[in-house]
Amino acid sequence: MARAGAPAVGRHRQYFEVRDALRQPGCPVCRLALGAVWRYLDALAYENVNDYTVREQLRRSWGFCNRHAWQYLEDVRDLLGTAIIYRDLIRSNGPAAGRPGGLTPRAECPVCAVRDRTARHALETLVRYRDDAEIADGLAASDGLCAHHAARALSLGARPLVSELVEKWTGGRNPVALAAGERGFAGTRVGWDWDPVPSAGLGALPSGGDGCRVCAALDVSYACREERDDALPCNAHLWALAGRDEGAAARVARGGLARAARRLAAPGLPPRSSLVAVVLDAVGVEPREENPLAGLVCPACLEQRAVESSLVRTAVAEGQPLCLPHARVALARSIGRRSMRTCLPHARVALDGPEDGDRILAPTRDVWRQLEAGLTAYVRSQDYRFRHEPRGDEQRAPRAAVRWIAGEPGVR
């Protein structure tokens, strides 16, 4: 039976999903969002790889983000779907890549969109039914919300609820998950549209390997330990630190939670009008909300930007191939004139003009042509009519395509 003040409306599926998630360990919003991500990727592998609408979304976003590209490859393990998707990206987007903005995504990663939409709906349901007896009891017994989703709940006008949840952070069973969200919820905050910071010297690149040498050198999670008054590490870097030193990660997380709690307790954000929320949802527009945690930074992301700037200069000077995110760093700063082979995330840059773009991306197109041939051979090898043919290097083509289009795991 609902408590006084509970909304007199019928319960729907989202209500029961939130109620059940509150009975599980960790942030319930993260849990529901991660479940939606898995269902989307599983459905994609099962029946939607050749769906025209899905394929067009992927063309506009230049495929998946780094995190979800590798999740699709390694967790869902759909190598054939990966080959079909990335071959289509190279064929559809490759010819225009040298034009200004040709490497810039025109839409966000579709999996990120599913994750964020699910999280938003779960939060709105939680706030709407916070006085319901089952939801209230579930909240009291739960681990509470992570810092990111507590901030989003605050923007929905749930300050009393957020205050109660923040009190749980002190004795939380998993401070890393509370500070950064559940493992795998998001990537880094490095982004691909930042201006590289000046670097005094050239960094040393690791030798060997057939991938992007800058990616191979990016081991910066240790920087999360840096003592800063504005530190709240990102999901990817804090969990990377936790994989090496749980105690250090827990100490860093508790410090970040204390800073986040002070931000959330500060007076400020007016709640968003429910009428505005209904209108925005009806027209399919994601609401833009003030983030009370804005200004809190991930020290490891800042360190990664500095390291990338230095290592990219070294790679260009040595004529090393770059994945696309790091080629974008090189092009943005106009460092070096030598030819570069670049993977997609590190070449996402507003090019100066068609001629300049064609010149810089000529070696990249050579890589893409090799990838397209390898992916085509891989797709052929999965056809039962050609199972008798010997298999070779084309079996590595799906992984190579993700490496060059999305970058090595964890770089973004």
User: CA of 327: how far to CAs of 101, 293, 335, 347, 407, in Å?
Assistant: 14, 31, 10, 4, 11
Q: CA-to-CA distance for 272 and 265, rounded, in angstroms?
A: 18
User: What is the model's pLDDT at position 4?
Assistant: 46
Q: CA 258, CA 383: separation in Å to the nearest integer? A: 56
Q: Return left, alpha or beta for 127; rule: phi > 0 is left, psi -120 to 50 is alpha, else beta.
A: alpha
Q: At 284, is the pLDDT very low, low, confident or very high (cuts 50, 70, 90)?
A: low
- Tokens found for residue 77: 């393990």
- 233-263 pLDDT, tens digit each: 999 999 999 998 999 999 999 999 999 988 8
Is 396 domain-assigned? no
Report yes or no on 211 lying in a domain. yes
| Residue 364 located in a structural domain | no
* pLDDT at res. 316: 66
Number of folded domains that form the chain:
1
DSSP state letters, 63-117 = S--HHHHHHIIIII--HHHHHHHHHHHHHHHGGGTTSTTTTS-SS--HHHHHHHH
Q: So what's the pLDDT on residue 81?
A: 93
pLDDT on residue 308: 83
In a 3-state reduction of DSSP, which class is residue 231?
A: strand
Q: Provide the pLDDT confidence category of residue 285 given band limits of 50, 70 and 90.
A: low
Residue 289 lies in a domain: yes
3-state SS assignment for residue 383 = coil
Residues with Cβ within 8 Å of 110's Cβ and at least 6 positions away in sequence, in order, are 40, 54, 57, 58, 61, 64
In a domain, 235, yes or no: yes
Q: What is the band of 277 on the pLDDT scale with cuts at 50, 70, 90?
A: low
Contacts of 264 (CB under 8 A, 6+ apart): 147, 150, 151, 154, 162, 163, 166, 292, 293
Q: What is the pLDDT of residues 376-391, one digit of tens each?
A: 999 999 988 998 989 9
Residue 320 resides in a domain? yes
What is the biggest distance separating any 2 CA atoms in the chain, rounded to whole angstroms? 71
* Ranges 12-21, 168-177, 218-227, 310-319: which has the least confidence: 310-319
Q: Is residue 349's pLDDT more than 70?
A: no
Closest CA to 347 of 82, 4, 102, 58: 102
pLDDT of residue 191: 67
Contact indicator for 365, 94 with CB cutoff of 8 Å: yes
The parent domain of residue 28 ranges over: 13-354
Rounded distance, CA 401 to CA 80, Å? 12
Residue-wise DSSP of 111-174: HHHHHHHHHHHHHHHHHHTTTSHHHHHHHHHS----HHHHHHHHHTT-HHHHHHHHHGGGG-S-
Who's near 341: CB < 8 A, 6+ residues apart?
Answer: 321, 322, 363, 364, 366, 367
Supply the DSSP string of 269-305, one letter for each residue: PPPPPHHHHHHHHHTT-PPP---TTTT-B-HHHHHHH
In a domain? residue 55: yes
The DSSP output letter for 202 is: P
The answer to whether residue 3 sits within a structural domain is no
Residue 328: which pLDDT band, with cuts at 50, 70 and 90? low
